[in-house]
Amino acid sequence: MGDLILLRHGETEWSLTGKHTGRTDIPLTPKGEAAAKALAPMLSRRDIVAVFTSPARRAVTTAAFAGLSNAQPDADLWEWDYGGYEGLTTPQIQETRPGWDLWRDGVIPGDAAHAGESIEQVAHRVGRLLARVVPLLDGGDVALVSHGHALRVLTACYLLLDPAAGRLFKLDTGTVSTLGTEHATHVITSWNVPPSP
């Protein structure tokens, strides 16, 4: 049985400054590109049978730099749609909503390109993805290249936890995490591992 290999895309200007980046398609910074390239040696030692990536350029580019060929874009790996909070930082949102927390309070609707999603909607689509990719683990590892919040919700769903439990899994840009099984129980086998220096 293989592992699910989770890669959070490399750094972008918005991730660096803490802006909520859902559907806005921005590129990696040079540091983000370097971090993605540095993941390649670690990943080359794995028996990866399939690779799926968010359609976002930052995820597709990360997969390519990390040496993950034949990546298939999958819309279920998009980041949480932050709606009216797209491009804002948590402190900016809290100016009008004191104490706001994404995991508890969710988002407000935005424009047509940023309609917004509830945590339940994010969980539904990553759950759909898990239903498709978990059977592939019989043949080896499956790599998923996506975004911080989407991967955290996916992890909670894989572990059969409430989707909001994703708040407990800090996930930095340009890192690798793995999900597997122990005695038929879904477990985290590694988390938030940066590239080797």
Catalytic residue selected from 11, 20, 33, 79: 79
Catalytic residue selected from 9, 20, 114, 147: 9
Pairing of strands 4-8, 176-182: antiparallel
Distance of CA 40 to the CA centre of its chain: 18
Residue 9 annotated as catalytic? yes
SS (H, E, C) the chain: CCCEEEEECCCEHHHHHCCCCCCCCCCECHHHHHHHHHCHHHHHCCCEEEEEECCCHHHHHHHHHCCCCCCEECHHHCCCCCHHHCCCCHHHHHHHCCCCCHHHHCCCCCCCCCCCCCHHHHHHHHHHHHHHHHHHHHHCEEEEEECHHHHHHHHHHHCCCCHHHHHHCCCCCCCEEEEEEECCEEEEEEEEECCCC
What are the catalytic residues?
9, 79
